[in-house]
Amino acid sequence: MLEKGNRDGKLTQRGKEVLDILHEVYEGSKGRLGELSDIGAVQHQGIARRMFHNFPQVFQDGAPCGLRAVLHQPLRPPWQPLAHPREEIHTPHRNAGEGKP
């Protein structure tokens, strides 16, 4: 929407600044799919610290554990529309063992 507003000459000065920031963020994230930003790394450390403090039983030897992974849509510019929300993403890893192609 910001791109369209910019093309139509309807953005305020602040809107243009926000669009420039979004372009910088997008360009800076190219080729870094799956990597954490510096801020993301600090956030993850904080989450781990709070989990360790609030749920020590989870980190004790012999504690039962499980794993669940979630696949997210690849990075896209914020001005591009989202993929259809019901669109299935098929990868060899996601469908392994499910009898699907």
Taking CA atoms, 10 is separated from 5, 68, 79, in Å, by: 5, 45, 16
Number of structural domains found in the chain? 1
Q: Kindly tell me the burial class for residue 2, based on how many C-beta atoms sit within 10 Å of its own C-beta (0-12, 13-18, 19 or more).
A: middle
Residue 101 lies in a domain: no
Residue 23 lies in a domain: yes
Residue 74 lies in a domain: yes
What CA–CA distance (Å, rounded) separates 66 from 88?
Answer: 25
Q: Nearest to residue 37, comparing CAs of 67, 2, 75, 72?
A: 75
Residue 89 lies in a domain: yes
pLDDT (tens, 9 = 90+) of the chain, 101 residues, equals 889 999 999 999 999 999 999 998 888 888 877 788 788 889 999 999 999 999 998 888 888 877 777 766 566 666 666 555 554 544 444 444 444 44
Q: Is the pTM higher than 0.85?
A: no
- Containing structural domain, residue 48: 2-95
**What pLDDT is recorded for position 89?**
46
What CA–CA distance (Å, rounded) separates 75 from 57?
Answer: 36
- Please check whether residue 82 is in contact with residue 73, taking contact to mean a CB–CB distance below 8 angstroms: yes
**What pLDDT is recorded for position 1?**
85
